[in-house]
């Protein structure tokens, strides 16, 4: 036992054990500053309490078994003081933390869109240009990247410590994560939500490349068709266009330029068309039918994979973009 302790400390001395992980994203430094502030508060109050307890224990140690010190009933002033100081400090923590959280949770609108599907026990990543990666993610330095993520089975969590970001990946729902990498290198990618037998094997590497290297990687990696093309192929393959072509007699609503729009449902409610709604409409088409159309669409549950749905969504998004471009 003692040997183990000895060895451990030797190792610390020799290796110069790091206590802060690498810092490779635009938010990492800000989050570290907040962390240092919290650490400072913790060290200060821990040291204060430890030394007070120690000092009182020594200074006021019992000198005679019969001594009975004068009672002190308390002090309202002190109670208020040591309620107010922690309250003030924690409110600083709250606003500081909430401010950064808002940044971490709000992707910039010009972010490159990547898609992530988690399954027991691997990460599958699709680039818009069509490159696919498993347990690896290549991104360029300095460009914001947004991940839209879902799971095929249980809850996972996409975690890159060097970027200080993490988000759970849920089945049946899309979650988002964004970052701007700031330093080239390779960094750990972990699954942080326990997901079964090989949870600790659901790891990978994030490779951050200088823009030029990234372009080289893009052109070197086997791409095949782009996400939009794949989506367009699926769209035809499943004959979606037979009902969803724009036209007065079509059985389904037109899918031109719908993303982000509000539509009225047959039930009278309105929904905003987002990725989640598109996904639901492919898998449970009759749950939320657009007003003016019949519930005639069959479900595609089990026929299109989660990745396929993401490709379809990418395709539908491209329709929206194409329209916008067409308009001056």
Partner 1 sequence: MSDQATTLAPQFDDLAQQKESAIFGMWVFLVTEVMFFGGMFAGYTVYRYRFHEAFTAGSDHLNLLLGGVNTAVLILSSFTMAMAVHSAQLNRRRALIVFLVLTMLLGSTFLGIKVVEYSHKFHERLVPGPAFHFDGADPQHTQLFFSFYFAMTGFHALHMVIGVALLAIMTGFAWRGRFSAEYYNPIEVSGLYWHFVDIVWIFLFPLLYLVGHHG
Partner 2 sequence: MNAAPPAANALPKVHYLNVDYGIRSWLFTIDHKRIALLYLGSITLFFVLGGLFATAIRLELLTPAGDLFESETYNKMFTMHGVVMIFFFLIPSIPATLGNFLVPMMIGARDLAFPRINLLSWYIYTLGGLFTLFAILSGGVDTGWTFYTPYSSTYSNTNVMATAVGVFILGFSSILTGFNFIITIHKMRAPGLTWFRLPLFIWAHYATSVIMILGTPVVAIAIALVGLERLFHIGIFNPALGGDPVLFQHLFWFYSHPAVYIMILPSMGVISEIVCCFSRKKIFGYSFVAFSSIAIALLGFLVWGHHMFVSSQSMYAGMVFSILSFLVAIPSAVKVFNWTATMYKGSVMYNAPMLYAMGFIGLFTMGGLTGLFLSTLATDVHLHDTYFVVAHFHYIMVGGALMGYLGGIHFWWPKISGRLYPEAWARFSALIIFVGFNLTFFPQFILGYLGMPRRYHAYPEEFQVLNVMSTAGASILAVGYAIPLIYLFWSLRYGPAAGPNPWQAKGLEWQASSPPPTHNFPETPVVTEEAYEYYPGAEADRV
Site for partner 2 in 56-95 (CB under 8 A): 56-57, 60-63, 67-75, 78-79, 82-83, 86-87, 90-91, 93-94
Of 208, 234, 289, 304, the residue at the interface with partner 1 (CB under 8 A) is 289
Question: Count of CB atoms within 10 A of residue 17's CB?
Answer: 9
Token pair for 69: 């010190």
Evaluate whether 201 touches 182 at the Cβ level (below 8 Å). no
Q: Whose Cβ is closer to partner 2: residue 56's or residue 223's?
A: 56
Give the distance, in angstroms, between the CA of residue 193 and the centroid of all CA atoms in the same chain.
12
> Residues 258-277 vs partner 2: string with x where CB under 8 A?
--------------------
Spell out the long-range contacts of 93-101 with Cβ–Cβ below 8 A and sequence spacing 24 or more: 93/34, 93/37, 93/38, 93/41, 96/34, 96/37, 97/34, 100/27, 100/30, 100/31, 100/34
* Residues 137-176 interacting with partner 2 (rule: CB under 8 A): 153-155, 157, 159, 161-162, 164-168, 170-173, 175
**Partner from partner 1, partner 2, none contacting 110, C-beta within 5 to 8 A by type:** none
* Residues 79-108 interacting with partner 1 (rule: CB under 8 A): none
> Residues 257-286 vs partner 1: string with x where CB under 8 A?
----------x-x--------------x-x
Minimum gap (Å) between residue 301 Cβ and partner 1 = 9
Work out whether 237 is an interface residue with partner 1 (CB under 8 A): no
Helix (H) or strand (E) run with residue 138 in it: strand 136-140
Evaluate whether 193 touches 156 at the Cβ level (below 8 Å). yes
Based on the number of CB atoms within 10 Å of its own CB, is 15 exposed (0-12), middle (13-18) or buried (19 or more)?
exposed
> Residues 294-323 vs partner 2: string with x where CB under 8 A?
------------------------------
Token pair for 324: 């916008």
Binding site for partner 1 (CB under 8 A): 267, 269, 284, 286-287, 289, 295
């Amino acid at each position: 036992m003692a040997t183990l302790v000895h060895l451990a400390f030797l190792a610390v001395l020799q290796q110069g054990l790091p206590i802060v992980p690498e810092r490779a994203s635009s938010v990492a430094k800000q989050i570290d500053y907040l962390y240092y502030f919290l650490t400072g508060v913790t060290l200060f109050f821990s040291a204060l309490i430890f030394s007070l307890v120690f000092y009182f224990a020594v200074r006021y140690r019992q000198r005679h078994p019969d001594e009975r010190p004068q009672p002190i009933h308390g002090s309202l002033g002190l109670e208020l003081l040591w309620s107010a100081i922690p309250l003030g400090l924690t409110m600083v923590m709250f606003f500081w933390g909430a401010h950064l959280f808002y940044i971490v949770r709000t992707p910039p609108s010009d972010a490159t869109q990547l898609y992530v599907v988690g399954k027991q026990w691997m990460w599958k990543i699709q680039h818009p240009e069509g490159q696919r990666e498993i347990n690896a993610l290549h991104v360029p330095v300095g460009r914001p990247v947004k991940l839209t993520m879902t799971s095929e089975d249980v809850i996972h969590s996409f975690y890159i410590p060097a970027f200080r970001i993490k988000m759970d990946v849920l089945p049946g729902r899309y979650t988002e994560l964004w970052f701007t990498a700031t330093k080239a290198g390779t960094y750990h990618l972990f699954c942080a939500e326990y997901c079964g037998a090989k949870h600790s094997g659901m790891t990978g590497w994030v490779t951050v490349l200088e823009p030029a290297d990234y372009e080289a990687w893009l052109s070197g990696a086997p791409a095949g068709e782009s996400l939009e093309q794949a989506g367009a192929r699926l769209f035809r393959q499943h004959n979606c266009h037979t009902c969803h072509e724009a036209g007065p007699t079509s059985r389904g609503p037109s899918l031109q330029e719908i993303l982000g729009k509000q539509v009225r449902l047959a039930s009278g409610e309105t929904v905003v068309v987002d990725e989640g709604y598109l996904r639901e409409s492919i898998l449970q088409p009759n749950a939320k039918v657009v007003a003016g159309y019949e519930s005639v669409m069959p479900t595609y549950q089990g026929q299109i994979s989660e990745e396929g749905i993401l490709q379809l969504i990418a395709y539908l998004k491209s329709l929206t973009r194409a329209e916008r471009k067409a308009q001056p």
